[in-house]
C-alpha cells in the first residue's frame, strides 16, 4: 500500500472548522497514514499564533507579573478548549494544560514552551482522527550542540513508525541527549514532515497549507500570477533563497535525498493540484521557459576600483579575506577589468561598515572605494532556460524597456537562474516586466 505523510500548517488547524477539513482530507485517502500538525495558527489577519502566545508566556515567566502570565496562558487554554468543544469531542485536556503551565513556570525552557503548541494540537488531532500519538520528543533527536541528528533519528523514528499503522507526530520539536526539548527554527514543522516522510520511505510528502502551491511571482506585485505545477528541488532552493516562502528551506533535504516528491496543497481548496516538487523534472516539461521569479531588497554593493587589477594575482582573494574577517557572507562578486564589487546584505554591512572599508583601504589600497546601498536582487529561475536561447536577452530587454537600470547581472553556471541587481525602488516594475515578458 502506498504511504503518504501529510503535514498541516497552523492555518489549516487554527480552529474546529479547519480541523474538520483536515480530517476530511485525511479520511479521503487511505494512504494518508502519518500526520504532522503545526500549532494552531491565525484564524484571521491580526490573530495571534499559539506558538507566539507560548513565546509570550515564556517571556512573562521570566520577567512579568503573575497576573499577566495567567491572562496570557488563559488565552492559550481557551484556544485549545474552544477547538475541542466546537468539535464536540469528549476529551479533557485540562490536566495537560496544567502540567505545561507549571513546567513553563518551573523554567522548562523557551523551546519547551514553544513546542507545546504542536504537542497539544497533536494530542487533540490524534484523538479526533483515532490515530496513535507519537511524541516527537521520543523520535526526533538533536545532538548535544543542538544540531539535528539525522542518522539516529532515522533509525529510531523508522523503527517506531513501523509499530504504528497510523499516527500523529507533532511537528517543530525534538529532544537533546540531556533530555531538553529543542525546536527547529520557525516554520519547522515542515522539517518534521520531511523527516517522517523519509523514515517511512513515503511515496509522497503532502504539505498542506493555505495557498495552492507556489506562484510564479509574488501576488502582491503581479496580479493573479499563475501557479507553478512542477518545480525541481534545485529551482525551489533558488526561489526560496530569494524570498519565496511557502516551505521551510531545510524541509527539502531529507526527502530530496530519499527521492520523495513533495506536493504543496491547499487545505481550503483540496481539489487544486498544488505544486509538485520533484528531484528531476525530466518527466515534467516546464510550460514556460521560466519557472518563477523572486527577489529580495536590502543589499549593498562595495565597489572597488584598481588600475591593472586584472593583472594582479591574488587581488580578489585579498579583498575577500578582508570581507571574511568581518564575518560577512557575500551574495555575488561581479567584476570587470579594473573593478570588482562585493554584494552583501546591508544589515550585515552596517554591523561593521566603517571598519570594513578602512580595512579594505589599508590592505588593498584601491584607487577608489564606494558603497551603493538600496539594491534589490531578482532571480529569474527556470530549468527551461538551458534549452531556450535568448532568455537572458529577454530578461534584460524587458526590464530596460520598463525603464529600469540593471546594476548587476549574474547567471549561475547551471543555467538555472539569472540574477539581476537593480535599485530597490524599481523592484516591482522589474518583476512585473519579466513576468509579462515570459508569461503574458
Ligand atoms: N508553530 C511553529 C511556528 O509557528 C512551527 C510551524 O508552524 O511550523 O513557527
pLDDT band at 283 (very low <50, low <70, confident <90, very high): low
Helix (H) or strand (E) holding 410: strand 406-411
Q: Is the CB of 189 under 6 A from ligand 1?
A: yes
Tens digit of pLDDT for each residue in 207-240?
999 988 999 999 889 999 998 999 998 888 888 7
pLDDT of residue 92: 96
Q: Is the CB of 172 under 6 A from ligand 1?
A: yes
Q: Are 262 and 276 in contact (CB under 8 A)?
A: yes
Q: Which mutation among 189, 210, 246, 264 tests ligand 1's pocket best, with the greatest number of atoms within 8 A of CB?
A: 189
Quote the Cα angle for 369-371-373, to 5°: 175
Q: Is the CB of 51 under 6 A from ligand 1?
A: yes
Q: What is the CATH number of domain 292-438?
A: 3.30.2130.10
Query: Are domains 4-278 and 292-438 of this chain identical in fold?
Result: no
Tens digit of pLDDT for each residue in 176-198?
999 999 999 999 999 999 999 99
Cα–Cα distances (Å) from 27 to 6, 23, 291, in that order, read: 12, 6, 33
Non-local (6+) Cβ contacts of 137 within 8 A are 173, 174, 175, 181
Quote the Cα angle for 74-107-113, to 5°: 50
Tens digit of pLDDT for each residue in 153-176?
999 999 999 999 999 999 999 999
pLDDT band at 286 (very low <50, low <70, confident <90, very high): low
Distance from the alpha carbon of residue 119 to the mean position of ligand 1, in angstroms: 12
Q: What is the CATH number of domain 4-278?
A: 3.40.1160.10
pLDDT of residue 237: 84
Distance CA 396, CA 382 (A): 16
Position 334 pLDDT exceeds 90? no
Residue 432 vs residue 383, higher pLDDT: 432
Non-local (6+) Cβ contacts of 429 within 8 A are 402, 403, 404
Q: Is the CB of 234 under 6 A from ligand 1?
A: no
Tell me the average pLDDT of the chain. 93
Tens digit of pLDDT for each residue in 361-404?
999 999 999 999 999 999 999 988 877 888 999 999 999 999 99
pLDDT of residue 288: 82
Q: Which range among 183-187, 328-332, 408-412 shows the weakest confidence by mean pLDDT?
A: 408-412
Using the atom order of ligand 1, give the atom closest to the CA of residue 185.
9
Position 410 pLDDT exceeds 70? yes
DSSP 295: E
Kindly list the domain boundaries of the chain, sorted by start residue.
4-278, 292-438
Q: Are 421 and 299 in contact (CB under 8 A)?
A: yes
Instruction: Report the SS3 class of residue 222.
Output: coil
pLDDT of residue 385: 85
Amino acid at each position: 500500500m502506498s504511504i503518504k505523510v501529510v503535514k498541516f500548517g497552523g492555518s489549516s488547524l487554527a480552529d474546529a472548522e479547519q480541523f474538520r477539513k483536515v480530517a476530511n482530507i485525511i479520511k479521503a485517502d487511505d494512504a494518508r497514514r502519518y500526520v504532522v500538525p503545526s500549532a494552531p495558527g491565525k484564524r484571521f489577519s491580526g490573530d495571534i499564533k499559539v506558538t507566539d502566545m507560548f513565546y509570550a508566556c515564556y517571556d512573562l515567566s521570566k520577567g512579568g507579573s503573575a497576573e499577566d502570565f495567567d491572562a496570557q496562558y488563559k488565552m492559550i487554554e481557551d484556544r485549545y478548549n474552544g477547538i475541542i468543544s466546537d468539535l464536540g469531542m469528549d476529551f479533557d485536556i485540562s490536566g495537560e494544560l496544567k502540567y505545561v503551565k507549571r513546567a513553563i513556570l518551573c523554567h522548562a525552557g523557551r523551546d519547551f514552551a514553544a513546542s507545546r503548541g504542536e504537542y497539544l494540537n497533536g494530542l487533540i488531532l490524534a484523538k479526533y482522527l483515532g490515530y496513535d500519538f507519537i511524541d516527537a520528543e521520543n523520535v526526533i533527536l538533536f545532538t548535544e550542540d543542538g544540531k539535528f541528528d539525522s542518522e539516529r533519528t532515522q533509525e529510531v523514528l523508522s523503527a517506531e513508525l513501523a509499530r504504528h499503522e497510523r499516527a500523529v507526530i507533532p511537528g517543530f520539536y525534538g529532544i537533546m541527549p540531556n533530555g531538553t526539548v529543542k525546536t527547529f527554527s520557525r516554520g519547522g514543522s515542515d522539517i518534521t514532515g520531511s523527516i517522517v516522510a523519509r523514515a517511512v520511505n513515503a511515496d509522497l510528502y503532502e504539505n498542506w497549507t493555505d495557498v495552492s502551491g507556489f506562484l510564479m511571482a509574488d501576488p502582491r506585485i503581479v496580479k493573479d500570477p499563475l501557479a507553478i505545477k512542477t518545480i525541481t528541488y534545485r529551482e525551489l532552493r533558488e526561489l526560496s533563497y530569494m524570498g519565496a516562502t511557502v516551505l521551510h528551506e531545510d524541509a527539502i533535504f531529507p526527502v530530496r535525498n530519499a527521492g520523495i516528491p513533495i506536493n504543496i496543497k491547499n487545505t481550503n481548496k483540496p481539489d487544486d493540484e498544488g505544486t509538485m516538487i520533484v528531484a528531476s523534472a525530466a518527466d515534467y516539461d516546464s510550460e514556460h521557459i521560466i519557472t518563477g521569479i523572486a527577489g529580495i531588497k536590502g543589499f549593498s554593493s562595495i565597489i572597488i576600483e584598481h588600475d591593472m587589477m586584472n593583472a594582479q594575482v591574488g587581488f580578489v582573494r585579498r579583498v575577500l579575506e578582508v570581507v571574511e574577517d568581518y564575518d560577512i557572507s557575500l551574495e555575488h562578486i561581479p567584476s570587470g577589468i579594473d573593478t570588482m564589487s562585493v554584494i552583501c546584505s546591508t544589515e550585515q554591512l552596517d554591523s561593521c561598515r566603517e571598519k570594513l572599508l578602512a580595512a579594505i583601504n589599508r590592505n588593498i589600497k584601491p584607487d577608489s572605494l564606494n558603497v551603493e546601498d538600496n539594491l534589490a536582487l531578482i532571480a529569474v529561475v527556470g530549468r527551461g532556460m538551458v534549452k531556450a536561447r535568448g532568455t537572458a536577452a529577454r530578461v534584460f530587454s524587458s526590464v530596460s524597456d520598463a525603464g529600469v537600470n540593471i546594476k548587476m547581472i549574474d547567471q549561475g553556471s547551471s543555467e538555472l537562474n539569472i540574477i539581476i541587481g537593480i535599485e530597490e525602488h524599481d523592484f516591482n516594475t522589474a518583476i512585473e516586466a519579466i513576468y509579462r515578458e515570459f508569461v503574458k
